[in-house]
Structure 1
Amino acid sequence: MTTLILITLATAFASMLLLVPLVRAGAIRVGLVDNPDAERKLHARPIALAGGLAVFIATGIAFVTGVAYESGWQEFEKLTQISSRWYVLLGASTAILVVGLIDDKWALRGRQKLLAQVVISMIVVGSGTVMNSVSLFGWDIPLGIFAIPVSVLWLLLSINALNLLDGADGMATTVGAFVCGGLALLSASSAHSPSTAIAATALCGALIGFLVFNRPPASIFLGDAGSMMIGLMVGVLAMWCSLKESAVLVAAPVAILVLPLFDSTAAIVRRWMTGRSMYATDRGHLHHLLSEKFGPNGMLMVVAGLCTFSSAIAILSVKFQQEWLVPIGAIGVLGFLVLTRTFGHSECRLLLGRVYHFAHSFAVRPQQCDSSKQLRTVKLQGEGCWEPVWEPLVEFAKAHDFAKVQIDANMAWLHEGYHATWQSVRLPEKAFQNVVRIPLYATRPGDDEAVPIGKVEVITNSTTDSLVYLGYFLEHVEELQAQVHHLVDKLNVLRSRKATSDQAGQSTDAVDKPLANEVEAATTS
């Protein structure tokens, strides 16, 4: 088995070294490139996409080579005897690769991509790749009528988990390589067909080879085509390599996939709790925060260390049949990220704050529901001092007996995010609410026109007096916008100086603190 894995790994790696320059040149020729913008895509020049196509081809070459070696070099006809599920996976991977290439070239809507993902996942599940029951810590839990929905949901999570991580040079590639390596070892340690181990090894070797070109500064990206295709294959292989009779062992695959799953969960929590669209873009993902804290290369080292730890724990848990090791490993990884405030701390604050206020609402007497207020403020990212913007809003709401005031700001180009809510324990019935939503605007460096960065929402009872007070509020919206502009201008200066110091090779630690103090002093004046 060791020789088989090494041959498959080497074939995939060598294939990538030959394929990537060809695919990169072809992508540039047809205009399949990722152009920088002033908000989220901050690379300096257009970068070729379609790296996923090279990964797909190299994985196929390595898989065929591995299966041929395992069955005997003189018995290539055995390749035609592979289980039909592999042909389904080939077709599904091809389909999602095509969808991704179309999206990379012409930019599909989020719901269009999701629909395609659902259809492809349902085809895979309909072909027999389904979780009829799951085994967790020795307990077999039959899923019954939920088997198909749970299986489809698992594939959707896998597809989008890797896709969401693909926002920094080498990030999705590094995570994918470690995840596939872990799945290969997990599959090799089982008594099932080695085909799953071969496929996982082939994908791992292809990603390692792609990392040669995708490490910072990257010369080619996976694109949505690559990240979604890898996510689908990882999700399917995770189900196949963890089969135990008729049940799927969920602990080990989840532990191996803990980083991408945590990032996806945090993104859902962050957008749901702040009232943003699930398709909204921000720079609050794991790779953004790690890159901001440790730099591009440091980010990859931290990710590699965390993936190594979680994968090793998962493999050991299976080898020694000690499933209790899995939650310890997962908690260790997540605890490190949250407690060091590297990632997930803001999302935990949002979630715990919502849970606390929900629990507290049960202790409030009915007569106090309208007068009792709840306050939540969370600085999601950045160094901006939002109190001069937020506190006058709360004072105005208190003075005029508003039911709710909320502010949400998201500036991806500044790595800045802020969310705050002040509201009554019991809001008025929707039919009797006056709701006003004011978009907030700011100017990005190099742009002549202001762009939307968030919103302020106000809710009052539907009374004559409240309409008058809402009129007063609208009269002061220009002052609110001016405060936001003032704050963002200072943050733009801070970001510009940090970028200049980075380019000059200076330590940003020496300049961050005084510049942050300058921003706070300016915005509170």
Structure 2
Amino acid sequence: MLVPFAISVAAAFAAALLCVLLRPLLQRYALARPNARSSHTVPTPQGGGIAVLAGAFLAIALAFGLSPVEAEAGRALLVVATGATVLAVVGAWDDIRPLPASLRLALQAACVGFVLFRAAPELRLFPEFLPLAAERALALVAGIWFVNLVNFMDGLDWITVAGIVPLAAALAWAGITGVVDPATGWLAAALCGGLIGFAPFNRPVAKLFLGDVGSLPIGLLTAYLLYRLAGTGAFAAALILPLYHVADSTITLLRRLARGEKVWEAHRSHFYQQATVNGFSVRGVVGRVAVLNIVLATLAGLSIAWPGLWVQGACLALAAVLTGLLLRAFATPRAGHG
């Protein structure tokens, strides 16, 4: 138990220190200027994701030195770190000089595929129902979508912290309790700590944004962690943990497709963005998202502790209802507003 906690603390400290050191450089070369998608009105430096990733990977490297893991687990973590780093470079490039949507998607697919096929080649979710090629294709599509949905949802101060920290903390605990392998738990603890270290700089009104350099690889790391969890048989828990982010982004995408919009262009139609127009404060939005994600983590834990189909179904249904209620609240103007 001490190792994941130490990893999280080390990652938080390293990320916070790097945010302080990098912010003047990012202020000069990586300003995010307000656009159609923005919730901010003042140019703000982006690139805090560099600190989150660097802090997380430094903490894991330190843990390796103090408490080595099995060679295969270490190899898998190295593959994941490599894929996330390459994707961070893609994100940094896109932050500074936007890439064509087709090229960006191809590079994302290459990174997701590299992690999927090299870090978890043995992992099967539905061997009784799907041939390997079909399962891998679905996993690739799901991974690419998750990378993008975390990026899409990173449009409000603190919202990625509110969405990913409870999820990562739950997966770190799953590593401690033996639900997932220790190396996966270490990665979750490192991601959790890195985001906690970044959080003070991103609190409303943010002094620093993640940028695509952060949101894209964080999406990849989170997708990998959930894939590992699903591979243990805890498929319901893997669906429950990210449900708010998945529901908000997926429903928004489908609505935009139905309206014939260019879905790759910036917009402000996510439910969390509607909420700020409908009278919710930024802190009110992210506070509700954080509370929901803590409840979702609890439901995911219950579905693992009592793995019967009825319990899993009930937990998943309750998670869907609570998520739907929050989405509806965000889409409804508050009393006296509008």
**8 Å contact from structure 1 (residues 163, 227) kept in 2:** yes
In the aligned structure 2, how far is the partner of 1:143 from the partner of 1:249?
20
In the aligned structure 2, how far is the partner of 1:217 from the partner of 1:338?
28
Q: Which has the higher helix share?
A: 2
Question: Which entry has the higher C-alpha Rg, 1 or 2?
Answer: 1
- Structure 2: which 5+ runs fail to align? none
- Structure 1: which 5+ runs fail to align? 72-77, 346-380, 383-507, 517-525
2:55 equivalent in structure 1 = 58
In the alignment, structure 1 residue 342 sits paired with structure 2 residue 329 = yes
2:172 equivalent in structure 1 = 184
Question: 1:83 is matched by which residue type in structure 2?
Answer: G
Q: Between Structure 1 and Structure 2, how many residues are aligned?
A: 336
In the alignment, structure 1 residue 315 sits paired with structure 2 residue 301 = yes
**8 Å contact from structure 1 (residues 50, 226) kept in 2:** yes
Post-superposition offset of 1:132: 5.7
1:36 equivalent in structure 2 = 34
In the aligned structure 1, how far is the partner of 2:267 from the partner of 2:314?
31
Q: Which has the higher strand share?
A: 1
Residue identity over aligned pairs, in percent, reads 24
In the alignment, structure 1 residue 167 sits paired with structure 2 residue 155 = yes
In the aligned structure 1, how far is the partner of 2:70 from the partner of 2:128?
35
Poorly superposed stretches of 4+, deviation over 4 Å: 78-82
Bigger relative contact order, structure 1 or 2 (CA pairs below 8 A, ≥6 apart):
2
2:146 equivalent in structure 1 = 158
2:91 equivalent in structure 1 = 100
**8 Å contact from structure 2 (residues 162, 287) kept in 1:** no
In the alignment, structure 1 residue 295 sits paired with structure 2 residue 278 = no
How is 1:29-428 mapped onto 2 (pairs within 5 angstroms)? 29=28, 31-37=29-35, 39-71=36-68, 82-127=73-118, 129-130=120-121, 133-134=124-125, 141-190=129-178, 193-244=181-232, 249-292=234-277, 293-339=279-325, 341-343=328-330
Post-superposition offset of 1:278: 2.1
SS at match of 1:134: coil
**8 Å contact from structure 1 (residues 189, 319) kept in 2:** no
Question: 2:296 is matched by which residue type in structure 1?
Answer: S
- TM-score in terms of structure 1 length: 0.59
Deviations 1:306-349 (A, max 9, x none): 10111111112112323544443443344245446225x7xxxx
Post-superposition offset of 1:192: 5.1
**8 Å contact from structure 1 (residues 134, 141) kept in 2:** no
Q: Describe the shift of the 1:170–1:509 C-alpha distance in structure 2 as closer, same or farther (beyond 3 A).
A: same
Deviations 1:427-451 (A, max 9, x none): xxxxxxxxxxxxxxxxxxxxxxxxx
Deviations 1:21-46 (A, max 9, x none): 112111123x2110124x33242321
In the aligned structure 2, how far is the partner of 1:87 from the partner of 1:133?
21
Aligned-pair Cα RMSD in Å: 2.5
In the aligned structure 1, how far is the partner of 2:222 from the partner of 2:202?
20
SS at match of 1:167: coil
- TM-score in terms of structure 2 length: 0.90
Post-superposition offset of 1:103: 0.4
In the aligned structure 1, how far is the partner of 2:223 from the partner of 2:308?
23
**8 Å contact from structure 2 (residues 292, 322) kept in 1:** no
SS at match of 2:129: strand
Deviations 1:345-398 (A, max 9, x none): 7xxxxxxxxxxxxxxxxxxxxxxxxxxxxxxxxxxx88xxxxxxxxxxxxxxxx
In the aligned structure 2, how far is the partner of 1:67 from the partner of 1:148?
30
